[in-house]
Structure 1
Amino acid sequence: MDIRGSVEKLIAADRGGRKVSSLFRPGFLDDALGLLEGSSRVAVVTGFFVPACGAPETDGPGGAVMLGRSLVRSGKETVLCTDRLCLEAVKACSASVGGPVVREAAGVEEILAFRPDLLVFIERLGRAEDGLYYNMRGEDVSATTAPLDGAALSGNGLKVLAVGDGGNEAGMGLFREKLAELLPGYAPCLSVVGADTALPVDVSDWGGYALASLLSLECGEWIGPEDRETGTMLDALISAGAVDGVTRRREPTVDGFPEEEHRHVIRELKELVTFRLRSSGKGLS
């Protein structure tokens, strides 16, 4: 099995039983990396607010920060964008590991002001067919969701890459027909916002970690996340008030998975990538 097949098994094995990652197909990672490597200015959009808890969730910022940092390390101008309600948590997460600058965005204009040539959504809600935003419980959360997904609908030819794990995220509209078959009861809540390429994964953070890690292959040295940084980011997120979106508790978990599971994913990613780098004769820092 090639490295991309191994990465797919690691991040899209349907460990959460949501069925969404069953749509992952060979070639998705190549397409995503092609978009990232062909870009020069990238806006990464994240942040999912949980109104029932009055707090943002822990999934999304970690993957966005690590992908953003790897993009910076590979020489690309990168900014993280989120809304006012998620701003402090995302800023704390990024600052804790030396990640990119974080900008507040109330709508499309603030994102496009950066003049990106690539837009990346990681665990960011996308509107449903009725124009509203829904969480995984089918609850309407439009009142606390800034319409940042509109940046993908701006019609200016901007390339869009997305990562999601529930079907309600921006970019997952690419799979809407198939997701409606897999999740018929949830079909009205599925996002209609598509993307040029999207990764349906078990946990959105893992998609961000995978892309951040695989960017190392182009650079010839490891520029991805370290396993200990998951704890650092989670501590920062929790201190800023974030909660697990599944358990709705303020605890060091992401989508119900404990920190050690996320550390395992990163360790495996680094092992796969560094082995490939050594095998190709490229040096490692």
Structure 2
Amino acid sequence: MDRRAYPDPVTVVGEETRMRVEEIVAELARVAARETGRGSEALAVPTTGDLLTAARSLAGRPTADAAVLTGFFIPAAESPAAETDGPIGAVQLAAALRALGSQVRLATDAPCAPVVAAAIAAGAPGVPLDVAPLSGYDQWAADVLPRYARLSHVIACERVGPAPDGRPRNMRGEDIGAHTAPLDQLFNAGPAFRIGIGDGGNELGMGRLPAELVAQVVDRGERIRCVVGCEALLVGGTSNWAAAALVGALALLRPEVVALRDLLRPEWSYDVLAAIVEKAGAVDGVRRRAQLSVDGLDWPAYAEPLTRIAELVAAA
């Protein structure tokens, strides 16, 4: 099966309309890749066109059967928990796929499960969640891998993957394998179209980038870079921004699905952020504290790209 063998959405008609949509999607990708100090703009250069490719792969099918992997555990936080970047975008994508009529489920591991479950409850109630245990993982994987091997799409949103030495590493170069299940096995389980979403080089899908680029741009990049690639890679200043850009691209390709635009409201993201922090103790991955921020960005700064993404889609 060709992982890229998906038709363009039938709702995009006419050369002028097609070109306009492509221009806006390219701008969405640029907005999502806004620099936050970790080299996202440089890392995004080799992925030009991947946002449109990813959106077409999802919107160009009658329905998809997808899984979204997320959850990045911060063991050194004041109260260890999953970080705020990742689950918001993952649930936003799940809600978008459900609005398109697709089947979708989320997957994470036990340390990140409380935060991901809280995100689902706030943003996409009823979406199934698969939780990988750290102890007894092999039996769990044997049970679920056949299901994942039949999926049309697997999306990883801010999910750490194996570095060159096979170990999952955070941005500080620390091995967090004791707190991380190897969900890269689900990502690679079958012929599904794989979409990677990340911001630091150490997430699933970042193996699509040249190793020398990650080493040059990212602090400790040669040590932490994930070696697992994908068919379409979305690089954001935060991973949540890149996920929002994908929802925005889907809204452009499928304008009849009005619910997609509602998901782009910054207020939607704020409500999910508040829920995961207040109900599950999600932490800012940079500050390593439970607060209403993402990757060191307080809400006003964090919301700026979200607002711009919503504006671009609304003006189309």
Q: Does 1:3 align with 2:38?
A: no
Partner of 2:298: 258
Q: Does 1:240 align with 2:260?
A: no
Find the aligned partners of 1:234 and 1:32 in 2 and give their Cα distance: 25
Alignment of 1:59-208 (within 5 A): 59-99=85-125, 100-106=127-133, 108-109=141-142, 110=144, 112-114=146-148, 115-154=150-189, 156-177=190-211, 178-183=213-218, 185-208=220-243
For structure 1, the residue ranges without an aligned partner over 5 or more in a row are 277-285
State the secondary structure of the residue aligned to 1:121: strand
Q: Does 1:46 align with 2:81?
A: no
Find the aligned partners of 2:145 and 2:181 in 1 and give their Cα distance: 12
Aligned-residue sequence identity (percent) comes to: 35
Q: Deviations over 1:111-155 (max 9, x none)?
A: 65253211000000110111111000111101101000122333x
Moved more, 2-11 or 83-92: 2-11
Q: Deviations over 1:241-270 (max 9, x none)?
A: 111000001100000111223333222212
Corresponding letter in the other structure for 1:48: F
Partner of 1:21: 41
Number of aligned residue pairs: 274
> Are the structure 2 counterparts of residues 188 and 117 from structure 1 closer, same or farther at C-alpha, using a change threshold of 3 Å?
same
Aligned counterpart for 1:228 among listed residues 248, 256, 267: 267
Find the aligned partners of 1:180 and 1:197 in 2 and give their Cα distance: 20
TM-score, length basis structure 1: 0.90
Moved more, 88-97 or 141-150: 88-97
Corresponding letter in the other structure for 1:187: E
Query: Does structure 2 conserve the Cα–Cα contact (< 8 Å) formed by 1:42 and 1:120?
Result: yes
Find the aligned partners of 1:171 and 1:262 in 2 and give their Cα distance: 24
Query: Does structure 2 conserve the Cα–Cα contact (< 8 Å) formed by 1:43 and 1:119?
Result: yes
Query: Does structure 2 conserve the Cα–Cα contact (< 8 Å) formed by 1:176 and 1:192?
Result: no
For structure 2, the residue ranges without an aligned partner over 5 or more in a row are 1-19
State the secondary structure of the residue aligned to 1:113: helix
Query: Does structure 1 conserve the Cα–Cα contact (< 8 Å) formed by 2:33 and 2:237?
Result: yes
Corresponding letter in the other structure for 1:269: I
Partner of 1:282: none
Find the aligned partners of 2:152 and 2:314 in 1 and give their Cα distance: 29
Corresponding letter in the other structure for 2:43: L
State the secondary structure of the residue aligned to 2:37: coil
Query: Does structure 2 conserve the Cα–Cα contact (< 8 Å) formed by 1:173 and 1:193?
Result: yes
Corresponding letter in the other structure for 1:170: L
Q: Does 1:268 align with 2:308?
A: yes
Cα deviation for residue 191 of structure 1 reads: 0.5
Query: Does structure 1 conserve the Cα–Cα contact (< 8 Å) formed by 2:96 and 2:247?
Result: yes
Q: In angstroms, what is the RMSD of aligned CA positions?
A: 1.9
Find the aligned partners of 1:36 and 1:136 in 2 and give their Cα distance: 30
Query: Does structure 2 conserve the Cα–Cα contact (< 8 Å) formed by 1:176 and 1:190?
Result: no
Query: Does structure 2 conserve the Cα–Cα contact (< 8 Å) formed by 1:112 and 1:151?
Result: no
Q: Does 1:37 align with 2:59?
A: yes
Find the aligned partners of 1:146 and 1:176 in 2 and give their Cα distance: 25
Corresponding letter in the other structure for 1:57: E
Corresponding letter in the other structure for 1:27: G
Cα deviation for residue 184 of structure 1 reads: 6.8
Cα deviation for residue 225 of structure 1 reads: 2.6
Find the aligned partners of 2:145 and 2:238 in 1 and give their Cα distance: 25
TM-score, length basis structure 2: 0.81
